[in-house]
Each structure stands twice: as structure tokens, then as C-alpha cells.
Amino acid sequence: MPTPSKIKDCMRRNPLTINCNANLVQAVETLIEYKLTGVTVVDDEGHPVGVLSELDCIEAVLNAIYNDGDPEHSLVRDAMTSEIISCGPSDSIVEIAADMLSTRQRRRPVIENGKLVGQVSSSNVLWALMENSRRRVFPRGT
């Protein structure tokens, strides 16, 4: 197996997404059910328009509670982070890892030609870095 060096080597293909018009409570239930820390948000055509993290959800639910609102009436588009920091499949894992550290963002939509082709998380990047490290320390055949 080749040493993982590009995002395409460690990204999750066909990632779970959520529509920007979805109910926030349903989105939270999805995050909990699938044990996700965040998900890419898409529009009706499937184009990425944001990212919804657990922290975004906590903030939206707290805002609703403190403002005598009801989280049941909140939508994903009102809670998501609309600034998308993405990467491409051929981007370097090391460069994306360094950028994740500097931005403190744990996941990246992987976009190619304007389409979502995957998602990479900090755990995917960590796995790839460890695989790369192991192969350097223990080359094949030794």
C-alpha cells in the first residue's frame, strides 16, 4: 500500500451531508446518532454552503433557550458556519494538517470542480500522518 500523502488517500468519500433548510434538532440528532463532530451543509442542488459543528449547535440551542425561543424552530442555515475552508483531493496531507492546527478547524469538505467529493477530519489526517511515519521508521522488507 502506498504511503498516504494526499487528501484523496485518507478522505471519507460520499460523506454524510445535511441540507441548509433542515431543522436544527434533526441535525443535532444526526450528529449524535452517527457520532460526528460536524457535517458539511449543502443547498438543494447539493453544493456545499457551510459546515455545521457540534459547537455551532450548542451555541444555537443556548441562544434559543436564553431568548425564550424553541430550538425546534431553528434551521441549520441559521446555525452553520457559512465560511467554508475546504481542500482538494490532491492537496498535501501535511499542509492541510498544519492549516487545521492554525485555524483550529477539525474537518474540511473536499471539493473538486465545485462539487463535494469527500470530507477529511482531523482523525483522518492523524491516521495518514501516523501511517506515513510508520513507513519511514519501518520500511517494507525490514
Show the low-confidence residues of the chain (pLDDT under 50). Answer: 1, 138, 142
Please report, for the domain that includes residue 30, its CATH number: 3.10.580.10
pLDDT score recorded for residue 18:
96
pLDDT score recorded for residue 136:
59
Instruction: Supply the range of the domain harboring residue 17.
Output: 7-137
pLDDT score recorded for residue 42:
95
Does some domain include residue 2? no
Does some domain include residue 1? no
Place of cell 457520532: 35
Does some domain include residue 39? yes
Does some domain include residue 62? yes
Domain count, the chain: 1
| Cα–Cα nearest to 120, from 138, 102, 95, 83 | 95
* Complete edge-to-edge strand list for the sheet that includes strand 17-19: 17-19, 38-42, 48-53
For residue 52, count other CB atoms closer than 10 A to its CB.
27
Does some domain include residue 115? yes
pLDDT score recorded for residue 100:
94
pLDDT per position as a tens digit, 5-17: 899 999 999 999 9
pLDDT score recorded for residue 98:
94
